[in-house]
Amino acid sequence: MSDLISIRDLDKAAIEKLLASAEKMEQNLFTMHDTFKGKVAATLFFEPSTRTHLSFQTAAQRLGMSVVPYYHASSSSSKGESLKDTLKIVDGYADILVIRHPLEGSARWAAEVAQHPLVNAGDGGNQHPTQTLIDLFAIQKAKSKIKGLNVQLVGDLKHARVMRSLVYALGMFGANISLAAPVGLEMDPVIVKETEERFGAKISQTSKLDLADSDVVYVCRIQKERFSDPYAASKLQASFRISPELIKAAKEGMILMHPLPKLDEIPPEVDASPHAYYFQQARCGVPVRMAVLSYCMKG
């Protein structure tokens, strides 16, 4: 059995195998499988979640598993029970654990505590490997390739765990990457340097929005909850938006992606644009997470 904590846990061959598995899962998405009948998946979410939590639960059930959901607000951990004790208890109930926690590095530590395979569903601002797999799957589905595409990552690149995982994977698959972030919210230079040196990736950085040359524009929200000054976050959020006017400069066939939830960074009127691809992207969550759960259970 295997854990999945970071996109760095996977090489290119393993990712390609997972994407191929997800494609097969998607073809039979509404067929209930009995692959893991009798097995139990526990979903431990210490932060709010809609898509990640529901898609993991759906994926587990589609594979024949029962699901035990764990919610921090109604659990003993809200009374002060340690994370280690919680993990040891739940690990005794389930065959695989999916965890989201606000502390960076918590998933890697949790995997050392648990005896059963563990999947990281987001650890603070650090990693979100299954979202990255969904993103690669969605891009490949829309564009039939990743290599050579001009992919622009936009928004709060400092705090977004989605972007940290994605820039590494895009570099691995040979995309041309541009990073557009407000001043002060740039991508960690260590991650940029690692991606460039390891994969020979071409990465440019700017503080201005320009979609004209992009094949894929991937936007993330300004993460107010990770700011000490809410006013500063709101100001940045208002100034860094994908407006309908900005969209007009995009080339035909450009796809606009977002991990969701989206707030002011993409106004509702953009949803009707042929470039909007984020709802299709979200629907990729179940087959990809079915592939991930199967990978981790089988090893």
Q: Calculate the alpha carbon distances from 8 to 171, 200, 299 in Å.
A: 12, 16, 16
Phi, psi of 282 (to 5 degrees): -65, -35
**Cis amide linkage into residue 261, ω under 30° from 0:** yes
Active site residues: 51-52, 79, 100, 128
Quote the CA–CA distance of 286 and 281 in Å, as a whole number. 11
Token pair, residue 126, equals 């650090």
CB atoms under 10 Å from CB of 132, counted, come to 26
Quote the CA–CA distance of 239 and 123 in Å, as a whole number. 28
CB atoms under 10 Å from CB of 230, counted, come to 10
Of 6, 5, 70, 78, the closest CA to residue 43 belongs to 70
Of 3, 142, 126, 121, the closest CA to residue 51 belongs to 121
Token pair, residue 250, equals 């995009």
In degrees, to the nearest 5, what angle opens at C-alpha 22 toward C-alphas 270 and 161?
A: 55
Quote the CA–CA distance of 248 and 86 in Å, as a whole number. 51
Name the residue type at position 296. Answer: C
CA atoms within 13 A on the CB side of 238: 6
